[in-house]
C-alpha cells in the first residue's frame, strides 16, 4: 500500500518525506486556503519535495474552465495529478486529460457506481471518502471493499483506489486488508501508524537494561 499525506503544510510534508515512507501528496481547496499560500507556488514546491503523485485540484466546475485549469496544472511538474470532482463535466475532463497522458485523481466518490464510471473515464486514482460516509451513518469501508472487488474483476481497469477522508489508523489497516492501493491521511494519522504503547514500554526497558550493562557498541 502507498501512503499519501493529505495536507498543504510544507513543513509536515518535508518531515514525513524524510521517513522514506511517503509516496505522494493530496491537497484540496480547503487545505490550500488553510495554508494561506499562493496555490501555484505551493504546488510547485510540494512537487519538488515529493517525487510521487501530487494532487492539485481544479477550482472551476464547468468543462471548458476545468479543462483549461487542468491543462495548466499538468505543466507545473511531471508528477502532478490533476484532481477533478466526480461530476459529468469532471469525468469528461478526466477522459480528455488521461488521453493526453496526464494523471487524474477523481475525487468526492461516494458510491461504487461512481467508481466504475471514473475507471471507464481513465482515472489514475479514484478517491472514495470513507470518513464522510461514516459521518452520515453509512459504512465507508464497505464501499472500499465493493470498489476493490469490482476493479479486480476487470483487469482493464488501471485506476487505483485512493482511500480518502481517513479518520484513524484502523481505516488504513482495513483498506490494506481489502487491497486498496493508496491511503491518503492527515499527518497526525500517519504518525499514529508508527506508535504503540507496548513499543514505547519495551524500548524503555531495553534502554534501561542496556545502560545497566555498561557496554557500548561503538567506542567513544
Does 72 have pLDDT greater than 90?
yes
Q: What is the mean pLDDT of residues 47-54?
A: 97
Does 220 have pLDDT greater than 80?
no
Q: Taking all residues of the chain, what is their mean pLDDT, rounded to a whole number?
A: 97
Which residues are the active-site residues?
Answer: 83
> What pLDDT, on the 0 to 100 scale, is given for residue 216?
92
Do residues 176 and 2 touch, judged by C-beta distance below 8 A?
no
pTM for the predicted model, two decimal places: 0.94
> What pLDDT, on the 0 to 100 scale, is given for residue 29?
93
- Residue 127: how many CB atoms within 10 A of its CB? 28
Q: What is the mean pLDDT of residues 87-100?
A: 98
Smallest CA-to-CA distance from 107 within 88, 83, 89, 131 is with 83
> What pLDDT, on the 0 to 100 scale, is given for residue 219?
81
Q: What is the mean pLDDT of residues 56-84?
A: 98
pLDDT tens digits for 143-164?
A: 999 999 999 999 999 999 999 9
Q: 124: pLDDT confidence band, cut at 50, 70 and 90?
A: very high
Q: What is the mean pLDDT of residues 61-84?
A: 98
Q: 200: pLDDT confidence band, cut at 50, 70 and 90?
A: very high
Beta strands in the chain (DSSP E): 2-6, 24-26, 54-57, 80-85, 103-109, 125-128, 160-163, 182-185
CATH topology of domain 2-213: TIM Barrel (3.20.20)
- Residue 186: how many CB atoms within 10 A of its CB? 17
- For 15, what's the count of Cα atoms within 13 Å in the CB-facing half-sphere? 11
Q: How far is CA 191 from CA 58, 178, 197, 199, in A?
A: 29, 22, 13, 14
> What pLDDT, on the 0 to 100 scale, is given for residue 203?
97
> What pLDDT, on the 0 to 100 scale, is given for residue 184?
98
**The total number of residues written for the chain in this structure:** 220
**Domain boundaries, given as residue ranges, for the chain:** 2-213
What percent of the chain is predicted at pLDDT more than 90? Answer: 99
Does 175 have pLDDT greater than 80?
yes
> What pLDDT, on the 0 to 100 scale, is given for residue 78?
97
Q: 5: pLDDT confidence band, cut at 50, 70 and 90?
A: very high
What percent of the chain is predicted at pLDDT more than 70? Answer: 100
Amino acid at each position: 500500500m502507498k501512503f499519501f499525506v493529505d495536507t498543504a503544510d510544507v513543513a509536515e510534508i518535508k518531515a514525513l518525506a524524510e521517513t522514506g515512507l511517503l509516496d505522494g501528496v493530496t491537497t484540496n481547496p480547503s487545505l490550500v486556503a488553510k495554508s494561506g499560500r499562493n496555490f501555484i507556488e505551493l504546488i510547485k514546491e510540494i512537487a519538488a519535495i515529493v517525487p510521487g503523485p501530487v494532487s492539485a485540484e481544479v477550482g472551476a466546475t464547468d468543462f471548458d474552465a476545468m479543462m483549461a485549469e487542468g491543462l495548466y496544472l499538468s505543466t507545473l511538474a511531471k508528477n502532478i495529478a490533476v484532481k477533478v470532482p466526480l461530476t459529468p463535466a469532471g469525468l469528461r475532463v478526466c477522459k480528455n486529460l488521461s488521453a493526453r497522458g496526464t494523471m487524474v485523481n477523481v475525487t468526492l466518490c461516494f458510491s461504487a457506481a461512481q467508481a466504475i464510471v471514473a475507471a471507464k473515464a481513465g482515472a489514475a486514482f479514484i478517491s472514495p471518502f470513507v470518513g464522510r460516509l461514516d459521518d452520515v451513518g453509512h459504512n465507508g469501508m464497505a464501499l472500499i471493499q465493493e470498489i476493490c472487488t469490482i476493479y479486480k474483476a476487470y483487469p482493464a481497469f488501471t485506476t487505483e483506489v485512493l482511500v480518502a477522508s481517513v479518520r484513524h489508523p484502523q481505516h488504513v489497516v482495513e483498506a490494506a486488508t481489502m487491497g486498496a492501493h493508496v491511503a491518503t491521511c492527515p499527518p497526525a494519522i500517519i504518525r499514529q501508524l508508527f506508535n504503540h504503547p507496548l513499543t514505547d514500554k519495551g524500548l524503555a526497558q531495553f534502554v534501561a537494561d542496556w545502560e545497566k550493562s555498561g557496554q557500548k557498541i561503538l567506542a567513544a
